[in-house]
C-alpha cells in the first residue's frame, strides 16, 4: 500500500519521534545511508517557485543514493497545455517511485495522491499546509530545546496565508504544556479552522498585534514573510508587508535561550544583523529540512 503525506497530522507523534531519530542518526552516520535508495527515483513536481524545498528534496534523494527528475515551474510542464493534476500524477507514477508536489491550489497534492500509484508528499499547497517544512521546524526545535513540551511559541507575520504556520500549529498542538502567542496584523490572523484545531486540543493561545510586549515570554519566535502571491490586491500587500521587522534592539527583553526560526525566504522580517546572534536558527533549519526529508523518503519507501 502506498502512503502519502499531505498534512503533518498524517504522521503520528510516534512516527515524528521515529523521523527525528532517523534524522539524528543520518547526521551522526551519513555514510550508512548513502546507498539506501539506490535505483529509486524521486519526482519533484513544482508548480510554484521554490529554492529550499525543491533543492532539499533533491539533495536528500541524492544523499540516499537515489535519482531525481521533475520540473520547477508549471510553464515547463503539460499543465501549461491544460493537463489536469490527476493525469500528471498518473503519468509521473510510471517514471518515479515517489513524488514531491508543490502547487498554488489548496488540495492539489491530495488530488495527485488519489490518482498516483506511488507515495505523494505535499511540498506546499497554496495557503494551506506545508508538512515537510514542519519536519524541518520540529527537528530544529528538538535539537535546540531537547523536547517539545512546555514551550511558549510566538508566531509572527502572515498567519493567514502562511502555510508553514498552519502546519506547525497543528504539529505542536499535540504536545503537553505548549502555548501559542499569535502575533499579526488584524487582517492576517490565523484562519478559524486552524484556531479550531488548537481549541480541540485544549491548547491555550492569545492573539496580539504587538511583538515587543510579548517578547520576554517566548521560547520560540517563528517569523514569517507576508505572502505577496496570495493577496488579492497589491495595495494591501504594500501596506502590510513591513508590519514586523526583527532588529537587535527588539530582542533586548528576549530570553537568552530564545530560538528564532523562519521558514525562509526572508524579505524584510529579520534584519541581517540578527544572523550572527546565537539565537538565530533559520539556517540550521534549512539543513535540518534536508535530513528530515531523507528520513521521510526512507519511511514512505519502506527502506530499512
Check if 166 is active-site. no
Check if 128 is active-site. no
- Residue 88 near residue 45 (C-beta atoms within 8 A): yes
Query: What are 115's three cell numbers?
Result: 490518482
Min dist CB 202 to ligand NCD, Å, is 28
Check if 81 is active-site. yes
Q: Which of 130, 241, 262, 293 is catalytic?
A: 130
Q: Which of 40, 52, 228, 255 is catalytic?
A: 52
Kindly state the DSSP code that residue 11 receives in the 8-state scheme. Answer: S
Min dist CB 24 to ligand NCD, Å, is 21
CB atoms within 10 A of CB 59: 17
Considering the complex, state which of residue 130 and residue 241 has its C-beta at the smaller distance from ligand NCD.
130
Please state the φ and ψ torsions of residue 150, each to the nearest 5 degrees.
Answer: 60, 40
Check if 54 is active-site. no
- Residue 174 near residue 201 (C-beta atoms within 8 A): yes
HSE-CB at 225 with a 13 A cutoff on CA atoms is 13
Considering the complex, state which of residue 119 and residue 126 has its C-beta at the smaller distance from ligand NCD.
126
Check if 239 is active-site. no
Considering the complex, state which of residue 154 and residue 263 has its C-beta at the smaller distance from ligand NCD.
263
Considering the complex, state which of residue 53 and residue 259 has its C-beta at the smaller distance from ligand NCD.
53
Min dist CB 29 to ligand NCD, Å, is 27
H-only helix segments in the chain: 13-28, 52-63, 85-92, 108-115, 131-145, 163-172, 192-200, 211-214, 234-240, 282-300
Q: Which of 44, 53, 164, 224 is catalytic?
A: 53
- Residue 269 near residue 228 (C-beta atoms within 8 A): no
Considering the complex, state which of residue 93 and residue 296 has its C-beta at the smaller distance from ligand NCD.
296
Min dist CB 31 to ligand NCD, Å, is 28
Judge if the upstream peptide bond of residue 255 is cis by omega within 30 degrees of 0.
Answer: no
Min dist CB 139 to ligand NCD, Å, is 14
H-only helix segments in 126-279: 131-145, 163-172, 192-200, 211-214, 234-240
Under the rule (CB under 6 A), what is the footprint of ligand NCD? 52-53, 124, 130, 133, 163-164, 224-225, 263-265
- The residues carrying an active-site annotation are 52-53, 81, 102, 130
Amino acid at each position: 500500500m502506498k502512503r502519502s503525506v499531505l498534512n503533518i497530522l498524517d504522521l503520528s507523534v510516534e512516527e515524528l519521534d521515529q523521523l527525528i531519530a532517523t534524522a539524528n542518526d543520518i547526521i551522526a552516520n551519513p555514510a550508512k545511508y548513502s546507498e539506501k535508495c539506490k535505483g529509486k527515483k524521486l519526482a519533484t513536481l513544482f508548480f510554484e517557485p521554490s529554492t529550499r524545498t525543491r533543492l532539499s528534496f533533491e539533495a536528500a534523494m541524492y544523499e540516499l543514493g537515489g535519482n531525481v527528475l521533475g520540473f520547477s515551474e508549471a510553464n515547463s510542464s503539460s499543465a501549461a497545455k491544460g493537463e489536469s493534476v490527476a493525469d500528471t500524477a498518473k503519468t509521473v507514477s510510471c517514471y518515479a517511485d515517489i513524488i514531491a508536489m508543490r502547487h498554488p491550489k489548496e488540495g492539489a497534492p491530495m488530488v495527485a495522491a488519489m490518482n498516483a500509484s506511488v507515495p505523494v508528499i505535499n511540498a506546499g499547497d497554496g495557503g494551506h499546509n506545508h508538512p515537510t517544512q514542519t519536519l524541518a521546524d520540529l527537528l530544529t526545535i528538538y535539537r535546540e530545546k531537547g523536547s517539545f513540551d512546555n514551550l511558549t511559541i510566538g508566531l509572527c507575520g502572515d498567519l493567514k496565508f502562511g502555510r508553514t504556520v498552519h502546519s506547525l500549529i497543528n504539529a505542536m498542538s499535540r504536545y503537553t504544556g505548549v502555548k501559542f502567542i499569535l502575533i499579526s496584523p488584524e487582517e492576517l490572523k490565523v484562519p478559524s479552522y486552524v484556531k479550531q484545531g488548537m481549541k480541540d486540543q485544549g491548547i491555550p493561545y492569545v492573539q496580539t498585534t504587538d511583538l515587543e510586549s510579548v517578547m520576554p515570554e517566548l521560547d520560540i519566535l517563528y517569523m514569517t514573510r507576508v505572502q505577496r502571491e496570495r493577496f488579492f490586491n497589491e495595495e494591501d500587500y504594500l501596506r502590510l508587508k513591513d508590519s514586523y521587522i526583527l532588529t537587535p534592539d527588539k530582542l533586548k527583553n528576549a530570553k537568552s535561550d530564545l530560538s528564532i526560526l523562519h521558514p525562509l525566504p526572508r524579505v524584510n522580517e529579520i534584519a541581517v544583523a540578527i544572523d550572527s546572534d546565537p539565537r538565530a536558527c533559520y539556517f540550521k533549519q534549512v539543513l535540518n529540512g534536508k535530513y528530515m526529508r531523507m528520513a521521510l523518503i526512507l519511511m514512505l519507501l519502506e527502506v530499512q
